Amino acid sequence: MGNKALDKKTLSDALARRLPAYYRHVCIMLAEGKQTVTSGELAKRIGNTSAQVRQDFFTCGGVENYHPDTLKEWLSGLLGIKKEHHMVVIGAGNLGRAIISFKDFNSDGFFIDAVFDNNLMFDGMQICGIPILNVSSLEDYLEANKVDIVVITTPASVAEEILEKAIKGGVKGIWNFAPVDLRSSDKIEVQNVHLSDSLLTLSFRINEKEFWKNEI
């Protein structure tokens, strides 16, 4: 219908990364009791132009109106929120625990059902009421339970192996914190987080700034 962007199968990464921010800010404005949202206001909060907001919404098929509830519903639909995503976390280390104890996304329909670790010491223990199972039982677990997303917080060396098992088990997505670049495929979607990379990017920006300070 005159919207070429919609004919493409995948939206650009830049846009896919902005969508959650739109959602987040619409939720905030809703909580603030705002009656209306405008592309201008949203743009200001998110740190870009109103033209971009409108173009993004257009690219995603358009929204009926800019009431915060309508926007929130519409963005929820795009993002697949409230579809009940069942997740398991691999690795009961500090990062695994941090993710489990995150309350941020539980309200959006993301549930963590189990944690897996290779350390037998953890057997029978729980984290925040979630059972820790041995990683050797992962394949059986995936066979027996519907798992949508696997969160990898293991060392790099075993990440690829977990990915394979997740694919076999019919998992739809991987949220990967191990410092390896796992690839998305038609079988599974991957989101690589790479925490240390983002620290290095910060360091780069600091360094870059100091370089130019000295130049002038």
Contacts with DNA by CB under 7 A lie at 2-3, 12, 14-15, 37-40, 48-52, 54-55, 57-58, 62-63, 65-66
- Closest approach of Cβ 17 to DNA, in Å? 9
- Closest approach of Cβ 51 to its own copies, in Å? 19
Query: Using the rule CB under 8 A, which residue among 85, 116, 141, 169 binds its own copies?
Result: 85
Q: Is 58 in the site for its own copies (CB under 8 A)?
A: no
Size of the residue set binding its own copies (CB under 8 A): 63
CA gap 112, 131 in Å, rounded: 10
Cα–Cα distance list, 88 to 69, 108, 112, 132, 142 (Å): 31, 16, 5, 10, 9
Q: Is 86 in the site for its own copies (CB under 8 A)?
A: no
Query: Using the rule CB under 8 A, which residue among 1, 64, 120, 212 binds its own copies?
Result: 212
Percent helix, strand, coil in the chain (nearest 5)? 50, 15, 35
Q: Is 33 in the site for its own copies (CB under 8 A)?
A: no
Q: Is 20 in the site for its own copies (CB under 8 A)?
A: yes
Residue 34's binding partner among DNA, its own copies, none (Cβ under 5 to 8 angstroms by kind) is none
Question: Which are the contacts of 108, defined by CB distance < 8 A and separation ≥ 6?
Answer: 81, 82
Question: Which are the contacts of 7, defined by CB distance < 8 A and separation ≥ 6?
Answer: none
Query: Using the rule CB under 8 A, which residue among 35, 157, 196, 214 binds its own copies?
Result: 196
Tokens of 215: 């130049």
User: Of 151, 83, 79, nearest to 113 (Cα)?
Assistant: 151
Element (H, E) at 139: helix 138-144
CA gap 90, 117 in Å, rounded: 6
Q: Is the Cβ of residue 137 or residue 203 nearer to its own copies in the bound state?
A: 203
Cα–Cα distance list, 37 to 32, 58, 122 (Å): 11, 16, 48
Q: Which residues bind its own copies (CB under 8 A)?
A: 9-11, 16-17, 19-21, 23-24, 45-47, 78-81, 83, 85, 93-95, 97-99, 101-102, 104-105, 108, 110, 148-149, 172-175, 179, 181, 183-184, 186, 189-191, 193-209, 212
